[in-house]
Amino acid sequence: METATPTFAPQLYIPNGIRDVDFYINGLGAVELRRYSNDDGTIHVSELSINGAIFHLHEETRSRTSFSPLRHQGSTVTIGLFVQNVDAYMTSAVAAGAKVISPAQDYDYGYRQGDVEDPFGHVWMFESRI
């Protein structure tokens, strides 16, 4: 089934055994839409939304080639999230446990951007046009 406007819904891999997604709720203002848990209560899949932008957290067991960035101490993807107030998102994310990679700053190409690494190793770039 096609939607009128294509949308991205990234699937972010997290280590096995994770039980809470509080960083995304408290640090990014996400709402957990639904969760599929394993028998032991750990997360199999958590579907979240930030102002209508949907993404999924998925435990690593699905594929041997899909893994949490923590396994290799790096990520091949930066998740760009357009927001109204980059500084507010940076502050909130850091208060919830993110590490600053690049402080928020204005760039000559017309964007204000800042990068953080979340507790699971995913890199988020908060950005807005200036």
So where are the chain's domains?
11-129
Q: Rg for the chain (alpha carbons), in Å?
A: 15
Q: What is each CA distance from 13 to 37, 41, 63, 71, 84, in whole angstroms?
A: 15, 17, 10, 10, 27
Residue with tokens 């997290």: 14
Phi, psi of 28 (to 5 degrees): -120, -5
Residue 64 confidence (pLDDT): 73
**Per-residue pLDDT at 1 exceeds 90:** no
Give the span between the Cα atoms of 68 and 50, in whole angstroms. Answer: 21
pLDDT digits (tens, 9 = 90+) for 20-52: 999 999 999 999 999 999 999 999 999 999 999
Does pTM surpass 0.85? yes
Whether domain 11-129 has CATH 3.10.180.10: the reply is yes
Give the span between the Cα atoms of 123 and 116, in whole angstroms. Answer: 6
pLDDT digits (tens, 9 = 90+) for 94-107: 999 999 999 999 99
